[in-house]
């Protein structure tokens, strides 16, 4: 196979100091991005530049303006002759200027953002928007009967082996069926004609009966919904909020549903830091390969995205290997799949475990760069998100900090620390040139807020909130707060390079921490569904798993029977204590100083 001449026509591998012309440099044949100590692949040390000067008059004025927008009527604070109000279907949109800033304030009726189990799709704005799309978009959702038949065919063709874990079996089978219907537009019509004929295939008939018993109702179809969203964007069915500096979506009680501050990084820091954040994220994702998104959730969307953006496909020989990348990192701690209540054993000591990107993919110079990245670039992103979070939801922010502090005390290695004090987030996802289709983050904090910082150089990528019928223009350098567990969200297609740092806490980690603190769990039950942050199945490191003994798994087998034949009660059987390790043995001693940290 002919190799591309990335390093000259001679193909002289490995490159040495002599051939590279750089003292002490060696580049091996398996590396096509440069040698480890290449200055172009060094993340900057920005830690000393990531503090927000809250005494700065411009920043203090920004904070006060945000509070005024939330707490006061628009008519009281709007600049003269700048207020425009539009009300429909329980949604009031007020566009006005405040001290030169262009503001969009949206009030949603009939919802309490802090109520557990809130369902935004039942809002008037959601039902009205769906009726409009249904009227304009003529293609109907694939029928359940069609999904049943395709699932039966898929399972028979694969011998029942569809991959994934047992709890995901039917979900994965259904997703594969939806993919086939999505790829073959005439498949459903052919199925309808086959249904009219008698089927003499006994194996298929039996499999179809099994499928119908296990999959009884319609479910969310991500491929069909993505088509509807694209249609709604093309035909301007969303209410487009553009050319605004602040967007605030509130319920009638004044609680934040969604917030966005455009050019937030530049306003809180400066333009140099905004550019440095993009540069560092580009460098780190070049040196440390971006993990491929989990295909059980992203499915064909990721493959289709690479077809639309071939410049991001590293498999194409003509692409620049430093720029051809698309995927997502997960940094922080979480519980493994199937433990939504935080009662399982993520590690040997029973608490949350670090993600795979924290454990197995950081070696050598990548690890050194990561420590500078976490206190520098990620620290700046955390500061920006925390600034608005603390301002708008101070009580929730304090609870976030308390929960993360408990994780830090339990296992500092599992905790991704970016701040020396007041660290509010235990999990971060770094999305590199990734397309986000409609979803909910089911594993996130119930009624909590996730913070997003968007960097790069791109056009498009607007935020879509289908339940609210809103399309919100998103520019590089903005910060967003979003109740992503309850609110469906996605983005539009974009061109250019786009980096998103998602800051969040998982509900399972919250529940575990509250138990450690002796606090009650009074919320509603957690969902068995997986979130985009939880679905990376490789995050559960095998050597960190705790294997229960047969006595713990099947205690009834060990009930002791006396000579008379009487069986002792369950209470009389001595409990087997779970092996515990001292917390200090499971930690790696580290400093908050990025330049000195080696763990």
Among 454, 441, 522, smallest CA distance to 489 is for: 441
The order of strands in the sheet holding 427-432 is: 84-88, 91-98, 101-108, 246-251, 256-261, 478-482, 450-460, 494-504, 427-432, 327-334, 353-354
Domains and CATH numbers, the chain: 1-35 (no CATH), 38-121+240-524+575-599 (3.60.130.30), 144-220 (no CATH)
Would you call 227 helix, strand, or coil by DSSP? helix
Place of tokens 């209470």: 571
Question: What's the mean per-residue pLDDT of the chain?
Answer: 80
- pLDDT for residue 556 is more than 90: no
Read off the pLDDT of residues 229-278 as tens digits, 9 standing for 90 and up: 999 999 999 999 999 999 999 999 999 999 999 999 999 999 999 999 99
The yes-or-no verdict on residue 135 having pLDDT over 70 is yes
138 φ, ψ to 5°? Answer: -80, -20
Contact between residue 4 and residue 317 where contact means Cβ atoms under 8 Å apart: yes
From residue 228, alpha-carbon distances to 119, 134, 241, 286, 479 in Å are 20, 9, 20, 35, 27
Q: What is the mean pLDDT of residues 26-44?
A: 64
SS3 259: strand
Q: Report the alpha-carbon angle 79-84-86, nearest 5.
A: 150
> 199-232 pLDDT, tens per residue?
778 888 899 899 999 888 888 888 899 899 999 9
Which has more confidence, 470 or 297? 470
Which of 231, 201, 263 has the alpha carbon at shortest distance from 474?
A: 263
**Predicted local confidence at residue 363, as pLDDT:** 60
Global model pTM greater than 0.85: no
Summarize pLDDT for 477-497 with one digit per residue, the tens: 999 999 999 999 999 999 999
Give dist(CA 470, CA 159) in Å, integer: 44
The tens digit of pLDDT for each residue in 422-436 reads 889 999 999 999 999
> Residue 427 in contact with residue 508, Cβ under 8 Å?
no
Looking at residue 490, what is its pLDDT?
A: 94
Q: Please state, in angstroms and rounded to a whole number, the distance separating the CA atoms of residues 372 and 183.
A: 44
Question: What confidence tens digit (pLDDT) does each residue in 294-345 have?
Answer: 765 666 888 889 999 999 998 888 888 889 999 999 998 877 666 666 665 5
How many other C-beta atoms are found inside a 10 Å radius of the C-beta of residue 264? 24
Q: What is the pLDDT of residue 475?
A: 95
The number of CA neighbours under 13 Å toward the Cβ of 585 is 6
Residue 6: per-residue pLDDT: 47
pLDDT bin (cut points 50, 70, 90) of residue 347 is low
Give the model's pLDDT for residue 57: 95
> Quick check: 197 pLDDT over 50?
yes
Proportion of the chain above pLDDT 70, given as a percent: 74
Region of poorest pLDDT, from 137-146, 429-438, 449-458: 137-146
Higher pLDDT among residues 401 and 295, named by residue:
401
Ordered DSSP codes for 212-224: HHH--S----HHH
21 phi-psi bin (left φ>0, alpha ψ -120 to 50, beta other): left
Residues 395-400: what's their mean pLDDT?
Answer: 94
| Contacts of residue 183, Cβ cutoff 8 Å, sequence gap at least 6 | 300
- How confident is the model at residue 413, as a pLDDT? 61
pLDDT, position 70? 95
Mean pLDDT of all residues in 280-302: 81
**Lowest-confidence region among 89-98, 176-185, 434-443, 535-544:** 535-544
Mean pLDDT, to the nearest integer, of 588-598? 35
Q: What is the pLDDT of residue 183?
A: 85
- Quote the distance between the C-alpha of residue 322 and its chain's center: 24
Share of the chain above pLDDT 90, in %: 42
Count other Cβ atoms within 10 Å, centred on residue 18.
10
Helices 202-214 and 144-157 cross at an angle (nearest 10°) of 120
- The bridge status of strand 463-465 relative to strand 490-491 is antiparallel
Is the pLDDT score of 438 beyond 60?
Answer: yes
pLDDT at 47: 86
Using the predicted structure, report yes or no on whether residue 170 has a pLDDT greater than 90: no
- Buried b vs exposed e over 284-294: b needs ≥16 C-beta within 10 Å? bbbbbebbebb
| pLDDT class of 561 with cuts at 50, 70, 90 | very low
Residue 104, pLDDT > 90, answer yes
- φ/ψ of 389, rounded to 5, equals -60, -50
- Residue 328 pairs in a beta bridge with 431
pLDDT over 60 at 196, yes or no: yes
User: Which tokens is 227 given?
Assistant: 């088509």
Q: Which two tokens stand for residue 315?
A: 């498999």
Is residue 430 within 8 A of residue 503, CB to CB? The reply is no
């Amino acid at each position: 196979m002919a190799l591309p001449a990335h390093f000259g026509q001679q193909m002289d591998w490995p490159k040495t100091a002599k051939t590279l012309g750089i003292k002490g440099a060696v580049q091996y044949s398996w590396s096509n991005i440069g040698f480890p100590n290449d200055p172009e692949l060094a993340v900057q040390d920005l830690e000393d530049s990531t503090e927000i000067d809250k005494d700065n008059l411009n920043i203090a004025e920004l904070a006060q303006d945000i509070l005024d927008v939330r707490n006061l009527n628009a008519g009281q604070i709007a600049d003269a002759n700048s207020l425009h109000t539009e009300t429909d279907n329980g949604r009031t949109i007020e566009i006005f200027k405040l001290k030169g800033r262009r503001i969009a304030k949206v009030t949603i009726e009939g919802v309490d953002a802090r109520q557990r189990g809130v369902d935004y799709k039942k809002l008037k704005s959601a039902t009205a928007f769906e009726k409009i799309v249904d009227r304009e978009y003529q293609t109907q959702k694939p029928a359940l009967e069609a999904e049943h038949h395709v699932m039966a065919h898929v399972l028979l063709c694969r011998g029942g082996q569809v991959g994934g874990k047992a709890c995901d079996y039917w979900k994965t089978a259904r997703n594969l069926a939806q993919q086939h219907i999505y790829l073959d537009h005439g498949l459903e019509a052919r199925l309808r004609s086959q249904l009219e004929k008698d089927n003499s295939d006994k194996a298929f008939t039996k499999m179809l009966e099994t499928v119908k018993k296990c999959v009884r109702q319609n479910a969310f179809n991500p491929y069909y919904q993505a088509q509807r969203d694209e249609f709604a964007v093309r035909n301007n069915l969303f209410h487009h909020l553009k050319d605004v500096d602040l967007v605030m979506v509130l319920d009638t009680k004044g609680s934040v549903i969604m917030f966005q501050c455009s050019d937030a990084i530049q306003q809180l820091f400066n333009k140099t830091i905004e550019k440095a954040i993009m540069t560092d994220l580009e460098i780190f994702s070049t040196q440390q390969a971006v993990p491929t998104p989990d295909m059980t959730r992203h499915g064909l969307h990721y493959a289709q995205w690479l077809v639309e953006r071939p410049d991001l496909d590293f498999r194409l020989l003509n692409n620049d290997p430093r720029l051809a990348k698309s995927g997502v990192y997960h940094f922080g701690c979480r519980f493994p799949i199937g433990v939504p209540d935080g009662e399982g054993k993520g590690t040997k000591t029973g608490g949350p475990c670090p993600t795979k990107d924290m454990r197995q993919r950081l070696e050598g110079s990548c690890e050194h760069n990561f420590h500078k990245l976490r206190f520098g670039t990620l620290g700046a992103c955390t500061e920006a998100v925390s600034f608005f979070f603390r301002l708008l939801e101070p009580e929730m922010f304090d609870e976030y900090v308390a929960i993360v502090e408990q994780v830090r005390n339990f296992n500092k290695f599992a905790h991704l620390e970016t701040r020396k004090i007041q660290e509010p987030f235990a999990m971060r996802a770094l999305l590199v040139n990734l397309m986000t289709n409609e979803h909910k983050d089911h594993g996130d904090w119930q009624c909590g807020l996730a913070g997003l910082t968007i960097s790069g150089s791109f056009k498009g990528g607007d935020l879509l909130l289908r339940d609210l019928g809103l399309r919100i223009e998103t520019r590089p350098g903005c910060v967003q707060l979003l109740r992503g567990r309850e609110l469906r969200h996605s983005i539009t297609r974009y061109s250019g390079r786009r980096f998103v740092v998602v800051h969040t806490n998982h509900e399972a980690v919250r529940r575990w921490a509250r138990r450690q603190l002796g606090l009650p769990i009074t919320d509603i039950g957690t969902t068995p569904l997986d979130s985009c942050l939880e679905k990376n199945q490789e995050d559960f490191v095998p050597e960190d798993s705790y294997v229960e003994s047969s006595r713990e798994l099947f205690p009834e087998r060990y009930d002791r029977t006396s000579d008379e034949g009487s069986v002792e009660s369950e209470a009389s059987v001595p409990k087997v204590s779970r092996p515990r390790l001292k917390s200090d043995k499971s930690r790696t001693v580290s400093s908050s100083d990025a330049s000195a940290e080696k763990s």
